[in-house]
Structure 1
Amino acid sequence: MNEYFAICPRGLEELLLEELRGIGAENLRTTHGGVHFSGDWAVCYRANLESRLATRILWHLVTGPYVKEDDIYRLALRQLWPNHFAVTRTMRVVTTAIKCPLKSLDYVTLRVKDAVCDRFREDFGERPNIETRDPDVSIHVFLTENRCTLYLDTSGRPLWQRGFRKASVDAPLKENLAAGILKMTGWQPGTPLIDPMCGSGTFLLEAVQVALDRAPGLDRGFAFELLKKFDALAWAQIRAAAEARVKPAGPLPIYGSDNDERAVRATRRNLQEAGFADCVRVELADLLDIEAPAPAGILLSNPPYGERIGEQEELAAFYPLLGSALKRRWAGWNCFFFTADLRLPKLVGLKPSRKTPLFNGPLECRLFEIRMVAGSNRDR
């Protein structure tokens, strides 16, 4: 039984815990920005393949006390790195910390890298090459006030990189955050869903994958495939089982629109690349003008934040119009807006039934839920 740590966007920890439980993980425990869990290698493979919410899955190697950098070097030197990966693999070291008293995390990174290379030299007479951009193996160092933990990354590229989004517009949402937001709306396949400010189509792409029961990692490779303990037969069976579950692509009650032609083109291209072009209807249209495609459903959008003064003024003029359009055309729908602009509910003029704090990277945001009750909000 191995110990792992799954990293995720802040605010998605409880959802990730439930997701990991569903794929067989045990001893689950949330912490700030992720979930600790245990399981065999098959659980690790499934977590990488199946998780819609995790950013990466780290394999826990060791935790030990430290006072100075030399203690961290000795802890790393004691690990049997040649048992984990071949000397021919490229590697890098990534260091993060909370309340660490040491002056330089870069120096800690250097000392751990030296320890790994020294271990290989002692055992083989040669050392692995360092590659900071796209290495075969990533060693993660996590420091608290007096404890050092060493992990091996089993994911490689971040798990939100599903492998098929080719086109993007300004500031696209990461796929795992979009998947978490979609989950928070309570949307289920078969329920009408629309993103009327679809950008590059991230919400739509995630929804189609859920509707088709398609594992998000089917189009990509993982770092665990390059580790010495990799079980190719077990992985082939897990992957084949996931592929066998996928439903055939066809028209779904999922809709997208945007008033920016570039965004519509990007969304259509991404759906095409993923093989989902027939699943979603995407059109060039303004949210203020479109009609609801069904009597009830989920409206989910990530409107612009307005980081500059001029943009904020434009949004302040737009929000009341949005409120009027929602009341006039979207009765019976549950509307969700993910934004860093906390003025939205007040300026829209509609009271949210729920405000969920989330983070888009370092940016604090809210997911506002506005229930448009049928019959009571229509303009007379």
Structure 2
Amino acid sequence: MNLELSALCPFGVEKLVKDELKGLGYHVVSSSPGRVDFQGPWEAIYRVNLGSRTAERLLIRLVKAQAQDFDQLFEATRSAAWEDWLTPAVTIHIEKVRLYQSQLTSVPAVQSMVQKAVFETLCRRFRLTRLPQNGPVVALRVTLAKDQLEVFLDTTGAALHNRGYRQDTGEAPLKENLAAALVLFSGWRRKYPLVDPFCGSGTILTEALLYAYDLPPGLKRSFAFEHLRPFSAPDWDHLRDDARQKTDLSHRVRIFGSDKDPVVLRAARKNIQALGLEDHLRLEVKAMEGVSARFWGIEEPGFVVTNPPYGERLETVAAARDLSRAMASWERDFPDWSIGVLTPLESLSQDMGRDPFVVRELSNGPLRVKFFQFAKK
């Protein structure tokens, strides 16, 4: 039986999520900013949570109905087969309610009514007078847009950008799934060298390593679906074991990272050591001005993919722009390389004196940013 599923993702990354889902053989139904709807079997919940590099969360839609008043809201929610998914052993939490242009306008009231409907259904089906609410947390999400109700069951738990390898971070860490999106958008493949001259705690480098070696990003973490009724521990263990067996670390990969801050570089080393991949890249304490293809001993064109300091990592816009102007030297220091730079600065191409072939609008958490991509010159 195919389920109605929604993969949430950072704004601007929807195409990559669709590509991942289609690559797994699932039918994509539609997409909207930050969300891709698709159909797939229960196994899709395992595979997408384990293997998606760019999604943020995977939801099962269990209710879709009109709800212009609280009676309709209650009846639509109560009619879902919650007993097929939840047991009395879990703690049910209404994690998020989003209301948009609907007749019901109170978030707390909608939240309370949905919870009451779910509780009543489970108590009736399991012949209980109340739910203990003292087990593992299972989260629900509610959307009511133009009186169209959707209730989702979260299968992920902690967002998918939490890979489980991050031991330490810099002051303003880049989310892991956005870092993976930058690598994918750049067009980099493991046969080419890749350099990050502002590597910070190493998120872009680490995601590039996972991608290069076909390592699923979810191997080192747990998921909310492990507390749902259809979960099969033997099936899940088999899927993860199969993924581990397919990993081949024999490929030659040339990945290089540098930063002027030795503290954040130590964080990068710890994060990469947590994956056991510390021997598969080079890290150096070096300011951007001293980094070039020649510095790394690279004689062929490759890719620069980077997230220069801004906001929390640089105190002023003027300082960020000065850094962007210094990056104009990359035309000399990385001749014939593809360059990708993530920044909130609208002036980046002007400061660098280069015209990008594409500028992608993305989000890093609440911050809107742009990924400028410059072709080989």
Please state how far the C-alpha of 1:336 moved relative to its aligned partner.
Answer: 0.8
Alpha-carbon separation, structure 2, partners of 1:274 and 1:48? 18
**Residue 354 (structure 1) aligns with:** 358
Give, in angstroms, the shift of residue 372 of structure 1. Answer: 4.5
Give me the TM-score of the superposition, normalised by structure 1. Answer: 0.92
- The reply on whether 1:321 has 2:326 as its aligned counterpart is yes
Change (3 A) 1:106 1:299: same
Aligned to 2:282: 281
Change (3 A) 1:309 1:333: closer
Counterparts of 2:261 and 2:132, CA distance in 1: 46
Deviates more, 1:241-250 or 1:164-173: 241-250
AA aligned to 2:128 is G
Contact 2:62 2:150 in 1 (8 A): yes
Alignment of 1:1-380 (within 5 A): 1-93=2-94, 94-123=96-125, 124-129=127-132, 135-248=136-249, 252-292=253-293, 293=296, 294=298, 295-306=300-311, 311-323=316-328, 325-373=329-377
Q: CA RMSD in A?
A: 2.0
SS in 2 for 1:9: coil
What amino acid is the match of 1:125? L
Larger deviation: 167-176 or 95-104?
95-104
Question: Residues 306 and 240 from structure 1, CA distance in 2 versus in 1: closer, same or farther, beyond 3 angstroms?
Answer: closer
What percentage of residue pairs aligned between the two structures are identical? 33
Partner SS for 2:39: strand
SS in 2 for 1:116: helix
Q: How far has the Cα of 1:268 moved from its partner? A: 0.7
Once residues 138 and 319 of structure 1 are traced to their aligned partners in structure 2, the CA distance between those partners, rounded to angstroms, is 43
2: CA distance between counterparts of 1:333 and 1:352?
13
The AA in structure 2 aligned to 1:128 is L
In 2, Cα distance between the equivalents of 1:198 and 1:259? Answer: 9
SS in 2 for 1:358: strand
Deviates more, 1:78-87 or 1:8-17: 78-87
TM-score by length of structure 2 reads: 0.92
Secondary structure of the residue that 2:274 maps to in structure 1? Answer: helix
- Distance in 2 of aligned mates of 1:332 and 1:308: 29
Contact in 1 for aligned 2:255/2:281 (Cα 8 Å): yes
- CA deviation vs aligned residue, 1:297-324 (integer Å, no higher than 9, x gap): 000111122479952122233322221x
CA contact (8 A) 2:170 2:201 kept: yes
Q: Any gaps of 5 or more consecutive residues in structure 2?
A: none
Given that 1:87 and 1:126 are in contact with CA atoms closer than 8 Å, whether structure 2 keeps it comes out as no
Deviation of 1:107 after TM superposition, in Å, equals: 2.0
Native 8 Å contact 2:308 2:343 kept in 1? yes
The size of the alignment, in residue pairs, is 370
CA distance in 1, matches of 2:15, 2:104: 32
Task: Could you tell me which runs of 5 or more consecutive residues in structure 1 were left unpaired when the two chains were aligned.
Answer: 374-380
